[in-house]
Amino acid sequence: MTSFETRPRRPRRRRRRVSVVGVIGELLITAGVLVLLFLGWQIWWNNLVVSGQQTKAAAQQSQKWIDDALKAPKAAPDTKPAQADPPVMAKPAPYEPFAVIYVPRLGPGWKRTIRQTVDVERVLNSYTAGVGHYIDSQLPGQVGNFAVAGHDSGWGNTFIDLSKLRIGDRIYVQTKDGWYTYVFRNFEFVQPSAVQVLLPVPRQPQATPTDRLMTITTCNPPFHAGERLIAYNVFQSFAPPQDVPSEIAAAVGQGG
Amino acid sequence: MYGALWRVLPGPVWLRILIVLALVAVVLFALVSWVFPWVDSLLGPQEGTVGP
């Protein structure tokens, strides 16, 4: 300290000293602003961006499959009986986008790409997906359980309105093969560990599946991860790629 | 701290304001691109999946 006192002082010209308390105060204010910015990003901005990008990606994918089908040489129609089983695709590779899901109840233009696996970074948070397929569950139209997952809140607010589904609401799953229509049946609220909801016959490991089900899992309540909301849907019908279901005809390809 | 930054910046007031705005834009870009997604990943699972 003495050396500091004896040091020859240069004349200062109106130069305020940077005080320790002042710097701490400014750091604290900065930290507060950063937290507010983060919340704004998490609850509002990021959802807008991700939701827009995911909708765009799904619209392009959807339109591509329709265009591909229209370009392809026409198979002779009426060769298949009307009651034939729907086609079932081969198991997609991990991260492969293999379907687009439309849920009119979640909004007139609501659509997302479904990719293989429920990996958080590469599927659920992805700008080009949003919904993931449980790799060990069945595929669209297959007897058993086609199980998918998506965020409830955050990263696009994928299924934030899933609890607004009403019995009989339609859910459309488009693949390169065509349109699989499912009908919403019921909800179940479960613990995050309830993997039995993914079984071919949900919650009944011993049972032999005879129905074509689809299960959607998401978080509940919004902005928490305490529970899971499960929506069970039953397969209703199949249509070829160019026969876009009338309920979503206006939404297909829009947003791209 | 911010006062010192202001004094360090060169030029007239309008140029300093421009520089400050550019710095703020860079910081916001870095936050949104890298820092916030990283913090979000630390905040625990929100993925909506069921699993053991």
Q: Which residue of A has its CA nearest to B32?
A: A41
B2 contacts in chain A (CB < 8 Å): 26
Higher pLDDT: A149 or A2? It is: A149
Q: Cβ distance A216 to A224 under 8 Å?
A: no
Among A23, A34, A118, the residue with its CB nearest the CB of B49 is: A118
DSSP A154: S
| Euclidean distance between CA atoms A200 and A228, whole angstroms | 19
B31 contacts in chain A (CB < 8 Å): 34, 37-38, 41
The CB density around residue B29, as the number of other CB atoms within 10 Å, is 10
Q: What is the mean pLDDT of chain A?
A: 90
pLDDT digits (tens, 9 = 90+) for B4-49: 889 899 889 999 999 999 999 999 999 999 999 999 888 866 667 8
pLDDT digits (tens, 9 = 90+) for A15-72: 566 789 989 999 999 999 999 999 999 999 999 999 999 999 999 999 999 999 998 8
Q: Nearest CA of chain B to the CA of A188: how many Å?
A: 13
DSSP A240: -
Q: Where are the domains of chain A?
A: 46-248
- Chain centroid to Cα A179, Å, comes to 19
Q: What are phi and psi of A34, to 5 degrees?
A: -65, -40
The CB density around residue A43, as the number of other CB atoms within 10 Å, is 13
pTM metric for this prediction: 0.85
Mean pLDDT confidence for A161-184: 96
Residue A172's H or E segment, with its range, is: strand A170-175
A155 contacts in chain B (CB < 8 Å): 46
Q: Is A255 helix (H, G, I), strand (E, B) or coil?
A: coil
pLDDT digits (tens, 9 = 90+) for A202-251: 999 999 999 999 999 999 888 878 899 999 999 999 999 989 999 999 88
Residue B49 lies in a domain: no
pLDDT digits (tens, 9 = 90+) for A96-131: 999 999 999 999 899 999 999 999 989 999 999 999
A11 pLDDT higher than 60: no
Strand partners, A237: A181
B3 contacts in chain A (CB < 8 Å): 16, 18
Residue B25 lies in domain: 2-39
Number of structural domains (chain B) is: 1
Q: What is the pLDDT of residue A1?
A: 46
pLDDT-based confidence at residue A139 (cuts at 50, 70, 90): very high
Q: Does B40 touch chain A (CB under 8 A)?
A: yes
One-letter-per-residue 3-state SS of A90-147: CCCCCCCEEEEEECHHHCCCCEEEEEEECCHHHHHCCCCCEEEECCCCCCCCCCEEEE
| Euclidean distance between CA atoms A236 and A171, whole angstroms | 10
Residue B8 lies in a domain: yes
Q: Is A183 helix (H, G, I), strand (E, B) or coil?
A: strand
Query: Which of A97, A106, A87 has the alpha carbon at shortest distance from A64?
Result: A97
Q: Does B30 touch chain A (CB under 8 A)?
A: no
DSSP A168: T
Rounded to whole angstroms, what are the CA distances from A209 to A45, A110, A115, A125? 43, 30, 24, 32
- Chain centroid to Cα A73, Å, comes to 33
Residue B52 lies in a domain: no
DSSP A152: S
- Give ∠ CA A94-A110-A137 in degrees, rounded to 5: 30
Among B2, B48, B50, the residue with its CB nearest the CB of A193 is: B50
Q: What is the pLDDT of residue A154?
A: 87
Predicted complex ipTM: 0.89
Q: What is the pLDDT of residue A7?
A: 58
The dotted CATH code for A46-248 is 2.40.260.10
Query: Which of A208, A212, A144 has the alpha carbon at shortest distance from A183?
Result: A212
